[in-house]
Every structure is written in C-alpha cells, then in structure tokens.
C-alpha cells in the first residue's frame, strides 16, 4: 500500500497510509521503510534527468526524513539513515549540520556509534579526509576502543590507502612518534599484530611482513 500511495497517491493519502501502518507495525520501521522508498524515488528521478521530477521527489523525501528524525529523535538508526541520504546526494554541509543536531538529541552513550557510522559514510560517500578527522577525534577520546581503530584501518584499506593503515598500526606500537597513547591489553595487542600481518600478507611484501614480526618481537621483549 505504501508503494502504491507513493506512486499514485497524494501527500495526504500517503501520510494517512503511514499513520495506519504505524498502528499495526513498529512505527520507526515504517518510517525507515517509507524514507527508503522515497530515497529510491529521488535516485530514479535523477537517473531520468528530469529536473522538475528531481525537485519534487527530493522535497518529499526531505520532508519525510525530517519528520522521522523529529518523531524518533532518540533513535540513532533514523539519524544514520538521514546522514546516508544526504551524503549520497552530495549534500555534505547539510549532513554535518545534521550530525551536530543528532548529538544534541541522542543520549550520550549513543554518540560514539553515530559518529563512527558517519565517519564510515564519509569514506564511502563523501571525503575520506573528513572521515579520518572524525576517527582521530574518537581514538583520542577513547584510547581503549580497539574496535574503533580496526574499523578505521579497514576503511583505509578499502579506500586503497595502505600507507595510512600502516601508520595507524604504527601509532599503537610506536606512540611517541605519533603523539598518541593507546591503552590496549596484551590480548588486544596480539589481535592487532595478527590483523597487521594479515594486511601485509594481502597488500604488502616480504619486507613489510618481516617488519610486523620485528615489531611484535620488540613488543614482547619490552613487556618482559
């Protein structure tokens, strides 16, 4: 019914159908689905190169995304969906302004995940440099969060910047050179060296692999 209303109905009948759907289903999921459909409408209109259709579809989608974030402002999933929509449309300034608004609305314990998701989207849809800036801020604030470091490294590797991924590994084992101090346990460091070696095995050479082994040996001897 939602799909039919989107295609053949009016804004009024669409909103009525959304309200009916919310009575029988999880309201947040209903809005996420409607926004997803509207996002696809924008993509279709853009592909068809009809400026009037693009403007109309974008306006409808914008209004629904804003309505969803206002209605479920304490839910990180709706903000993340809105970020993706804006970044996909190359609306970077709006996306960054929305990130600030989301952090004002969301409980503090959700901030790290939301910022991490935004940084990942920057790598995929926006600017890797802006993504790095966010990850750097997160890693400085949460020096015990190896998961954040690994996500950052994975994004650098996927982006094809192996040198920057290596620099992140090196910032852990040689913190003085990078003006950074992580607080990882021995068990975590073992995982880090394994991940680093796997990366070099896939993207490096014998010399870079040997370098990881040497750093691991230095770490173990230092620990003793």
- The answer on 19 and 61 residing in a single domain is yes
Average pLDDT, the chain: 93
Give me the numbers of helices (H) and strands (E) for the chain, helices first please: 13, 0
* Confidence band, pLDDT 50/70/90 cuts, at residue 7: confident
- The answer on 217 and 183 residing in a single domain is yes
Give the pLDDT confidence score for residue 176 in this predicted structure: 73
Give the pLDDT confidence score for residue 177 in this predicted structure: 67
Q: What angle do CA 91, 93, 99 make, to 5 degrees?
A: 100
The predicted model gives 59-88 an average pLDDT of: 97
DSSP one-letter code for 144: T
The predicted model gives 170-176 an average pLDDT of: 88
pTM: 0.90
Element (H, E) at 67: helix 51-71
Among 141, 160, 192, residue at a domain's last position: 141
Distance, CA of 223 to CA of 203 (rounded, Å): 29
- The answer on 83 and 137 residing in a single domain is yes
Among 141, 168, 192, residue at a domain's last position: 141
Element (H, E) at 216: helix 206-223
Q: 2 lies in which domain range?
A: 1-72
* Confidence band, pLDDT 50/70/90 cuts, at residue 10: confident
Of all residues in the chain, the percent with pLDDT exceeding 70 is: 96
Q: Under 8 Å CB-to-CB from 37, ≥6 apart: which residues?
A: 2, 3, 6
Number of folded domains in the chain? 3
- The answer on 27 and 10 residing in a single domain is yes
Give the pLDDT confidence score for residue 51 in this predicted structure: 66
């Amino acid at each position: 019914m939602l799909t039919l209303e989107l295609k053949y109905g009016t804004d009024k009948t669409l909103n009525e159908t959304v309200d009916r759907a919310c009575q029988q289903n999880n309201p947040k999921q209903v809005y996420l689905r409607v926004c997803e459909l509207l996002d696809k409408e924008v993509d279709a209109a853009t592909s068809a190169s009809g400026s009037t259709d693009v403007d109309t579809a974008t306006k409808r989608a914008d209004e629904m995304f804003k309505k969803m974030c206002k209605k479920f402002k304490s839910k990180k999933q709706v903000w993340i969906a809105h970020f993706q929509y804006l970044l996909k449309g190359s609306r970077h300034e709006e996306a960054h302004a929305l990130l600030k608004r989301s952090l004002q609305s969301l409980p503090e314990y959700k901030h790290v995940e939301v910022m991490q998701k935004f940084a990942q989207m920057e790598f995929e849809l926006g600017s890797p440099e802006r993504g790095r800036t966010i990850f750097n801020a997160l890693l400085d604030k949460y020096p015990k969060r190896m998961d954040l470091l690994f996500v950052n490294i994975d994004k650098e590797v996927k982006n094809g910047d192996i040198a920057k991924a290596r620099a992140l590994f090196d910032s852990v084992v040689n913190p003085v050179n990078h003006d950074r101090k992580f607080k990882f346990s021995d068990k975590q460091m073992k995982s880090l060296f394994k991940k680093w070696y796997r990366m070099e095995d896939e993207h490096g050479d014998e010399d870079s692999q040997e370098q990881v082994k040497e750093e691991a040996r230095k770490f173990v001897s230092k620990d003793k």
